[in-house]
């Protein structure tokens, strides 16, 4: 149907078609490649993450070995003791497992839905109660609670040891099971308060409660330990006291705020 006049034209058409065919395939291939790239990138990152995690674990182990190698005997024992106290070792013993879950009750009309959800404040009260009852080691959803552990709402989750946790919350505490149990079940205590809002709280006493070690990082950026000599040079303990008393008002204010809030809660419960 198409009459091609001379050889010259044929070659040119041939060339043009080669270019066209080439372009079409390249376009199609590239398009597929872009789609694969996104997936590949995610895969690459996952692999990389695993590698880095493995590296980190290996290095942490090495560090432990070196530390174990350098000190021995009494020093080792003391260090183990200090580590246990600081929450750096996994602990096991008698205690309770306390489970908390958000309320399944529907909020009544005009009522604040937030009242039916577990907040940082509720968890803090539980932890505080357990500490008061002599709990020796506490973990929240597998996060060991140490001196610097925060419990704070971030959106729908709770931040503990810089990790986000969500309901249900499982609090494991090692201590006298009876004491811990009754401290939570006090009349007007935490569990009674939760019950009112339909927040499900469940205490189980156990002979074998495991509390994992603290896994996060702790570094002192501002604080420096004061050596014995420096203390003597500073002489009067009054200066030290001044320093701490400066901090006190703020801390007191916080405490009283918390108390007020808890009183409010208790009021709501009655």
Nearer to other proteins, 22 or 162 (CB): 22
The contacts of residue 37 (CB under 8 Å, 6+ apart) are: none
Q: Which stretch binds other proteins (CB under 8 A): 11-19, 138-146, 177-185, 216-224?
A: 11-19
Q: Which stretch binds other proteins (CB under 8 A): 27-35, 185-193, 201-209, 256-264?
A: 27-35
Residue 15 in contact with other proteins, rule: CB under 8 A = yes
Residue 8 in contact with other proteins, rule: CB under 8 A = yes
Nearer to other proteins, 4 or 54 (CB): 4
Query: In this structure, are strands 143-144 and 200-211 parallel, antiparallel, or unpaired?
Result: unpaired
Q: Which stretch binds other proteins (CB under 8 A): 15-23, 178-186, 227-235, 254-262?
A: 15-23
Residue 20 in contact with other proteins, rule: CB under 8 A = yes
Nearest distance, CB of residue 46 and other proteins, angstroms: 22
87: helix, strand or coil? coil
Q: Which of 138, 145, 148, 143 is nearest to 166 (CA)?
A: 143
Q: How far apart are CA 178 and CA 181, in angstroms?
A: 5
Residue 202 in contact with other proteins, rule: CB under 8 A = no
Residue 3 in contact with other proteins, rule: CB under 8 A = yes
- Rounded to 5°, the CA angle 100-147-171 comes to 15
Q: Do 160 and 145 touch, CB atoms closer than 8 A?
A: yes
Nearest distance, CB of residue 40 and other proteins, angstroms: 13
Q: Tokens standing for 78?
A: 């003391």
Q: Which of 229, 181, 189, 234 is nearest to 209 (CA)?
A: 181
CA distances from 58 to 52, 54, 200, 218 (A): 10, 6, 41, 19
245: helix, strand or coil? helix
Residue 245 in contact with other proteins, rule: CB under 8 A = no
Nearest distance, CB of residue 15 and other proteins, angstroms: 7
Q: Do 169 and 99 touch, CB atoms closer than 8 A?
A: yes
Nearest distance, CB of residue 194 and other proteins, angstroms: 55
Residue 109 in contact with other proteins, rule: CB under 8 A = no
Site for other proteins in 116-155 (CB under 8 A): none
Beta bridge pairs of residue 164: 159
Nearer to other proteins, 26 or 82 (CB): 26
Site for other proteins in 28-67 (CB under 8 A): 29-30, 33-34
Residue 23 in contact with other proteins, rule: CB under 8 A = yes
Nearest distance, CB of residue 147 and other proteins, angstroms: 51
Nearest distance, CB of residue 48 and other proteins, angstroms: 22
Nearest distance, CB of residue 43 and other proteins, angstroms: 18
152: helix, strand or coil? strand
CB atoms within 10 A of CB 125: 20
Run of H or E residues at 181: helix 177-184
Beta bridge pairs of residue 138: 173
Residue 12 in contact with other proteins, rule: CB under 8 A = yes
Contact residues: other proteins, CB under 8 A: 1-4, 8-27, 29-30, 33-34
């Amino acid at each position: 149907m198409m009459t091609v006049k001379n050889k010259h034209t044929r070659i040119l058409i041939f060339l043009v078609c080669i270019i066209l065919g080439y372009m079409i395939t390249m376009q199609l291939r590239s398009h597929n490649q872009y789609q694969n790239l996104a997936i590949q990138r995610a895969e690459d990152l996952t692999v990389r993450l695993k590698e880095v995690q493995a590296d980190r674990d290996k290095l942490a182990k090495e560090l432990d070995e070196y530390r174990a190698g350098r000190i021995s005997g009494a020093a080792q024992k003391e260090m183990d003791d200090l580590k246990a106290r600081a929450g750096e070792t996994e602990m096991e013993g008698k205690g309770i497992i306390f489970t908390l879950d958000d309320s399944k009750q529907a909020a009544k009309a005009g009522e604040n839905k937030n009242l039916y959800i577990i907040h940082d404040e509720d968890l803090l009260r539980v932890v505080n109660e357990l500490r008061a009852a002599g709990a020796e080691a506490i973990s929240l959803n597998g996060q060991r609670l140490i001196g610097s552990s925060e419990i704070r709402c971030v959106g729908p989750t709770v931040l503990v040891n810089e990790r986000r946790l969500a309901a249900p919350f499982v609090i494991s505490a090692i201590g006298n099971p009876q004491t811990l149990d009754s401290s939570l079940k006090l009349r007007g205590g935490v569990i009674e308060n939760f019950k009112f809002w339909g927040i499900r709280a469940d205490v189980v006493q156990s002979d074998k409660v495991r509390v994992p070690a603290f896994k996060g990082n702790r570094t002192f950026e501002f604080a420096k330990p004061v050596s014995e000599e420096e203390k003597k040079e500073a002489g009067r303990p009054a200066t030290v006291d001044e320093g701490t008393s400066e901090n006190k008002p703020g801390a007191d204010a916080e405490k009283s705020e918390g108390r007020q809030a808890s009183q409010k809660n208790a009021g709501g419960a009655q």
